[in-house]
Structure 1
Amino acid sequence: MGTIAGRVKGAKPGQKLVLYARGGIWWVQPFTTLPNTEIQPDSTWKSATHMGTEYAALLVDRSFAPAPTMPSLPPIGGKISAVAVVKGGAPETLTSPTLHFSGYDWKVRLLPSDRGGAANPYSAKNAWTDDRGRLHLQISKGADGWECAELSLERSLGYGSYVFVTRDVASLEPSSVLGFFTWDDQGVEENHREIDIEISQWGDPGSKNSQFTIQPYYVPVNVVRYLSPPGQITYSFRWEPGRVSFKAQHGDGLQRGGAVISEHVFTSGVPSPGGEALHMNLYVYGKSRTLQRNGAEVVIEKFQYLP
């Protein structure tokens, strides 16, 4: 992804922009869940975009409903007042910093993401390790609102056991989300090979604060909700052909561990390994992107993978 910006001349009150990037066909930008770009009072606009061979900006009425993809750009007329197209050039190189944790090198996310239904910005300053080797992930206040944290491995680990030892996550605000998940950036097959452990109330303070998930999440049997209590908790999943076994337990599960808080086995819809990588993130859920306190912080004491 990169950044695209410009200026609008002669826009009518209430109009907006819809951006597209061309990669074979035209794809709405920056995300299908966030297809509109606002025009600022000084007539400028700015947005993240996926890279393409061409880029288009459509000046449209507020009621215009953009298509996620198009084989060609629409003509001017009706709700479309203007269309501007530019050729794609060589993108600027954006090198993600690397952070070493639990024996692995992790890429630190710098670009925005729409995970959780909002375009959250991310910052390298929100992920670090302390002198005891523990990983800290943080949500902090930035120039564009709450800035989040995400790390990812550069290679697929595939089938095996993934174990995360956390210090205490029960105090997170309802709109905060801590996630441990696999994700395939390059392929959409098998729902991006996504397997999730997520600690969040998804904005509802009355709901349980944790879940085990295989995708798609909107299939009720693919999500198991449970309550994570205060204190040290070990979250894990064992990924095998046609089977994912999740567990949350008290204490350090890499040592002796304690009583099981919740466990579940999925045997339907389980993805197979491919181009997925392991991610860990902390972000704000929902379009309101609302937190009551001064951000959030979690500590992940250890990560372990066993084939």
Structure 2
Amino acid sequence: MKNQQFFSPEIIHKAVMVLQTRRIVVLVLVLSIAFTGCSQHSDENVEDVVPKNRVISFSGYDWLVRSSGVDKEGPGPNVFSDSEENVWVDGQGRLHLKIVYKDGIGYCAGVAMHKSFGYNKYVLYSSSRFDLLDANAVAGFFVYNSDVEEIDIEFSKWSVADNENAQFAIQPSSIPTNKHRFDLKMENEKATHFFDWKPQQITFGSFEGHVSDLSSKGYTWVYEGDDIPVDTEERLKINLWLFKGKPPVENKDVEIIIDRVEIL
């Protein structure tokens, strides 16, 4: 008992405080090293995000260019290419969609808006003779969410030489009252096409020339049926493809030109 030493409460308290302080410092150092290491490791392994689709700017909007790789997809089915041979914007700001036919394959073209604009009036100003379009080709201007949530303006003879060449349609278009076919006759390349999508009604129109008065004389149709799509995540799209994947009638390339698109 002679050699036993006693420490005052004040000395013990100071010793505990020193130990706690040292532990905190050590912990901070360990965490700092750990986080610094993680950060450096993460930076070394970050890769640039490569978009799955080519993106183009046209008419003031971003559009995704469709690509199916080497596979065939609907409609058609067809191979869709995002090559600059198939889809490009020229020096005048006009969009070109082209079916490039080579080695027995028709490489088709399509673009889709980057986001949905819902209920609106969608207007397309074209500079192509849709009335002279290849009989096996289909040019479409439409909003799409699914095969039964779709509003279409389409130009095609559907592989029938003496067929009417245009239609306004609501999907499913197999219902007779969901489709209005007509024979578009043009004197030059310029035309205006629109659909005004509202919850209870869709109004369609096609006119010769680039017109601002969408109530002027032309081809019109009003749909008030049961299959008006609900405003969800539809995207505006433009495409050019081959009906049932058939080659162009003369095995030649097919091209359409769109001057601009407006959403009003």
- Do they superpose with TM above 0.5? yes
Q: Residue 180 of structure 1 aligns with which residue?
A: 141
Q: Could you give the per-residue CA deviations for residues 86-127 of structure 1, whole angstroms, max 9, x where no partner exists?
A: xxxxxxx76211111100010001115533432333232211
Q: Does 1:203 align with 2:155?
A: no
Report the Cα distance in structure 1 between the residues aligned to 2:126 and 2:215, rounded to whole angstroms: 14
Shift of 1:249: 0.8
* Aligned counterpart, 2:76: 117
Cα distance 1:292–1:134, how it changes in 2: closer, same or farther (>3 A)? same
Change (3 A) 1:165 1:113: farther
Equivalent in the alignment of 2:249: 291
Runs of 4+ in 1 over 4 A off after TM superposition: 256-259
Structure 2: segments with no counterpart, 5+ residues:
1-49
Residue 225 (structure 1) aligned to one of 181, 192, 204:
181
Q: Unpaired segments of 5 or more residues in structure 1?
A: 1-92
In 1: Cα distance, 2:214 partner to 2:151 partner: 23
User: Distance in 1 between the 2:208 and 2:245 partners?
Assistant: 33
Instruction: Look up the match of 2:258.
Output: 300
Q: 1:116 to 1:205 in 2, by over 3 A?
A: farther
SS class of match (1:106): strand
* Preserved contact between residue 249 and residue 258 of structure 1 (Cα < 8 Å): no
Q: Which one-letter code corresponds to 1:181 in the other structure?
A: F
Instruction: Output the aligned Cα RMSD.
Output: 2.1
Aligned counterpart, 1:103: 60
How many angstroms apart in 2 are the aligned matches of 1:276 and 1:248?
A: 22
| Cα distance in 2 between the residues matched to 1:150 and 1:192 | 19
Distance 1:133 1:94 in 2: 23
Higher relative contact order (CA 8 A, sep 6+): 2
Is contact 1:246–1:264 with CA below 8 Å preserved after alignment? Answer: yes
Query: Contact 1:212–1:246 (CA<8 Å) still a contact in 2?
Result: yes
Distance 1:301 1:118 in 2: 27
Partners of 1:244 and 1:257 in 2: CA distance: 14
C-alpha distance after superposition, 1:136-175 (max 9, x if no partner): 1101124561101100012111001000011122221111
Judged with a 3 Å threshold, the aligned counterparts in structure 2 of structure 1 residues 288 and 141 are, in CA distance, closer, same or farther, namely: closer
The residue correspondences of 1:2-151 to structure 2 (distance < 5 A) are 95-111=52-68, 112=71, 114-125=73-84, 126-143=86-103, 145-151=105-111
Q: Which one of 218, 234, 257 corresponds to residue 261 of structure 1?
A: 218
Question: 1:228 offset after TM fit, Å?
Answer: 1.6
Q: 1:258–1:299: structure 2 CA closer, same or farther, 3 Å change rule?
A: farther
Amino acid of the residue matched to residue 59 of structure 2?
A: S
Name the structure with the higher strand share: 1
User: Which letter does structure 1 place at the counterpart of 2:112?
Assistant: S
Q: Distance in 1 between matches of 2:251 and 2:217?
A: 31
- Helix, strand or coil for the counterpart of 1:260? coil
List per-residue Cα deviations over 1:63-95 (Å, max 9, x = no partner): xxxxxxxxxxxxxxxxxxxxxxxxxxxxxx762
Percent of pairs with identical residues: 29
Question: Is the CA contact 2:65–2:111 (under 8 Å) kept in the aligned structure 1?
Answer: yes
| Kept in 1: contact 2:202–2:223 (CA 8 A) | yes
Which residue matches 1:46?
none
How far the C-alpha of 1:293 sits from its partner, in A, is 4.5
Q: Give the drift of 1:279.
A: 0.6
Aligned residue type for 1:206: D
Of 241, 244, 248, the residue aligned with 2:202 is 244
- Aligned mates of 1:211, 1:199 — CA distance in 2: 7
Preserved CA contact (<8 Å) 1:120 1:284: no
TM-score computed with the length of structure 1 as normaliser: 0.64
What SS class does the counterpart of residue 106 from structure 2 fall into? Answer: strand
Change (3 A) 1:226 1:173: same
- Residue 212 of structure 1, aligned match among 168, 172, 180: 168
